[in-house]
Chain A
Amino acid sequence: MADKHSRRDFLVRSGSVLALGLLTPGWLRGVAMAQKLERLQGVSPRSQNVLVVCQLSGGNDGLNTVIPYSVKDYYRLRPGIGIPEKEQIPISDELALHPALKPLKALWDEGRLAIVNGAGYPEHNRSHFRSMKIWQTASPATQSETGWLGNYLDRLPDPVSPVAGLCLDSSASPALTGQRVSVPTIASLDDISELAGTQDAESAMRAIQQLDGSAQFAHVSASTNSALDAVHELNSLLGKYQNCVEYESDNFSSGFRQLARLIAVSPLTRVAYLSVGGFDTHASQQDKHATLLGGFASGLARFMEEMQAIGMRDKVTVLAFSEFGRRVKENGSGGTDHGQAGPIFIAGGSVQGGLHGEYPSLSDLDDGDLRYNTDFRRVYATLLDKWLDADSEKLLGQRFDNLPLLRS
């Protein structure tokens, strides 16, 4: 945990402060710095790691996200929507990033961004709904009622914080469904104080949730109680800190901004979940996809910048995934249909950057799709074992070899 002195060092070195310094007179710079330091007073020390999961819903076109630029088939199969080589951002002898991912280049160069190529699972399913459920429950073969992170939160020793896990959304993620815990789903952290009522009103609301043995009402009661607990907790915490980095206004940026605030003040939060849709690019995908990836990259980069500013970058790891990649050959609508394997992104101060998994071959396709070679559950297992200090074999129901995704 960084002390105040080293936090200030972070600030001085961090890009936003430098940029500010070039444009503003000295006295104003002093004020800005003082304000920033003041804001940092609210940051709570954290001893344990936190995992942020970012879900790209709709099926991200992995092939245009991480591009095998030297493969001729790429340009042949994607004459309309292929990214021209001169616009790509090369990251190795064979691979390049989509130009909209430029904000992530610095993280990559620093070795704090890992990419797992060819991620997927056996007997692929091209339905959004089924495939997303498979990623969320880590259970390709059977239907599971609980999610992989819900299973993890279920086993945290008591007492856990009411926001040990949090889903920033208006609909709950099945990944966070547990048997014991009811993970709060909160639409926005920005207006939490409006939601908090008086102590009396809160206890009245708790009183009418009582069950008198009716199983039918258990889900409503658990949801309401978890809302009351979370709002109570967040209302007392969030006021202590304002973001010290500016974000764009797209959905990714807004989500990352709010999660940065949460992580700054809530030392017992272990898992936070964010999902953004729009990746189902069957038609006219070029601009749409670039806008989405741009929001993702900018939001994630600023988030990491803020984590660094508050001395928490080494305590936070972000996992970004999508339910499937898309068909290699573009369709007649300037888009792509549902496919199979795609890349996973892992970012953070403790991440061992670089490429993992094998990039799937474009000449050996499965019904027009990239074949998976790395089971996504290996990534989950690594994060559970090495990052969240859990037993992945128990949580995932079988053993998966870890990947070298984290610095030791």
Chain B
Amino acid sequence: MALQTDRDRVAHLLRRAGFGASLSQIDWHAARGLEATLDYLIDYDSVEEAPQIDVLELTNMKGNLPAPIVSGWWLYGMLTTQRPLQAKLTLFWHDHFGCSAEKVQNGYLMVQHIRLLSELASSDLRTLLVAVAQNPTMLRFLDNNTNVKGQPNENFARELMELFTMGIGNYTEKDVQEAARAFTGWSFQRPNRIQAAVRGAVEPQFQFRQGAHDEGIKTVLGVSGNLNGDDVIDILLEQPVTARYIAGKLWSWFVYENPEEQVVERIAGVFRDGNYSVRRLLRHILTSEEFYSARAERALYKSPADFVVGISRSVDLPGIIDLFNLFQESDKEKRRLLRGAMGGVMGSMMNMGQHLLYPPTVAGWDGGSAWINSATMLERIKFADLLFERKEAVINWNFLVGNRRFESVNEVVDRLCEVFDAGLPEAKRGIIAAHVEGLLDRTRGEKQYRQQMLHEACRLIFGSPEFQFC
């Protein structure tokens, strides 16, 4: 198997702890070595972030911030970030705490949610759980803002156990009902105009409504008392199954699916011993022997984010479409440009089954092999059309191939596979080259001929089984 050289290992790490990288980025990291790359990725607080769009400036005339604009802002962040692991973890937590703008219906709340997840992406699980439980976006998404004494709403309490901590089958219906009582009164408040003016506050804030809180005795997983929401979170963190569930899920996201029993046991231990520090657990995972093993290499299905952001980053797409203009334009113009620049990419992702900010259910996306079906494969193939089909194609020959002389279609296909980190064996590259040659129309002039060559080759590369894995 590959992953024999340090460069292979660095490229693998960049695929997993990020969204892949361009050839020159891989070279740069490889020159500094695997250790330095790990530090760069994991201790991302010390890496200066690329200039980002101030999303609040994108508010429209009516004072609204439409959720699709927020998705575009976030996607732009993924495409340009200098902290790929933070971006990937933010996506992990968005998938884990599957709040959808479909129900939240408020762009500002979605911004608040994504910022929270990004800020706490590698903190400890308790901090994250409490912050998410008190986050107005979640309070609204799972209706806890209307969970009141005497008439509890079980929505949040159930998903907290089933999806956010322990996993199904480790608690009873009674536990759900009792936990719901403990979260009664957890709500949020919108600042009124005067407060906003005085404190400069525009964002809704968590509010504990004493009067709506059930002060009675509750029993959750065998622990009784006048429990509050924090107490329930502590009880859930006491359950050994919680560390196993979360650590196992992170492993499945970053290394390979269905980890061995002894691996789960080991990483759950690391997680608990490290006070549930996500950063510490990730360092363990990303330096483990298993992470660089043959079983892990190109073993994970690419999510649409891996696919789309990966391709875009490998050719520096944001640089090409020159989003820097965004910062020099009026607010209206910024919105228009962002929509235009991100629209096609976002639309593709959506059709591939991953509409950012709109996870299909609170369980997030099914992921893994479920990313692939006939509809999504057609979309993955079509992504090549987005890059090459337009009149002024986003990516041209010079950019991808440069001024080198190519003797054959084979050489062009080899180059493309290298740029896109496609992992295709030589035999398959030969098949692609042979077929591309048959599809080409030489009568339309050299420029069209070359563009068509890139286009047809990329359709086949993007549609190959190998390319669906990272």
Q: Which residues of A contact B (CB under 8 A)?
A: 126-130, 167, 169-172, 182, 184-187, 195, 198, 200-201, 203-205, 207-212, 214, 216-217, 219-221, 223-224, 226-227, 230-231, 277, 282-283, 331-335, 337-338, 367
Contact = CB atoms under 8 A, between A and B. Distances in A.
A185 B373 contact: yes
Interface stretch (B84-92, B215-223, B261-269, B375-383): B375-383
> Among A216, A223, A227, which residue has the most Cβ atoms of chain B within 10 A?
A223
A405 B296 CA distance: 51
Interface residues of B, number: 52
Interface string B296-313: 000100000000000000
B374 A185 contact: yes
A128 B377 contact: no
B154 A338 contact: yes
A187 B155 CA distance: 30
B456 A201 contact: yes
Nearest to A214: B465
Given A129-B363, A208-B432, A208-B463, A332 B146 contact: yes
Contact of B372 (A207, A223, A334): A223
Contacts of A186: 374-375
Contacts of B382: 195
B351 A170 contact: yes
A220 B374 contact: no
B465 A337 contact: no
Contact of B428 (A198, A208, A231): A208
A264 B142 CA distance: 42
B377 A220 contact: yes
Interface stretch (B31-39, B314-322, B435-443): B435-443
A331 B373 CA distance: 39
Contacts of A127: 158, 162, 168
Nearest to A166: B374
Contacts of A230: 374
B19 to A, nearest CB: 20
B173 interface: yes
Contacts of B290: none
Contacts of A282: 142-143, 153, 155
Contacts of B148: 332
Contacts of A201: 439, 456, 459
A240 B369 CA distance: 35
A179 B427 CA distance: 29
A319 B150 CA distance: 38
Given A216-B465, A223-B377, A337-B155, 10 more contacts: A126-B173, A127-B158, A184-B374, A187-B379, A198-B439, A200-B435, A231-B378, A331-B152, A333-B153, A337-B154
B249 to A, nearest CB: 15
Nearest to A205: B463
Contacts of B439: 198, 200-201, 204
B353 interface: yes
B147 interface: yes
A8 B416 CA distance: 58
A333 B376 CA distance: 37
Nearest to B366: A171
Q: Top 8 A-B pairs ranked by shortest CB distance?
A: A332-B151, A227-B374, A333-B146, A217-B465, A204-B435, A220-B465, A172-B373, A185-B373
B325 interface: no
A281 to B, nearest CB: 10
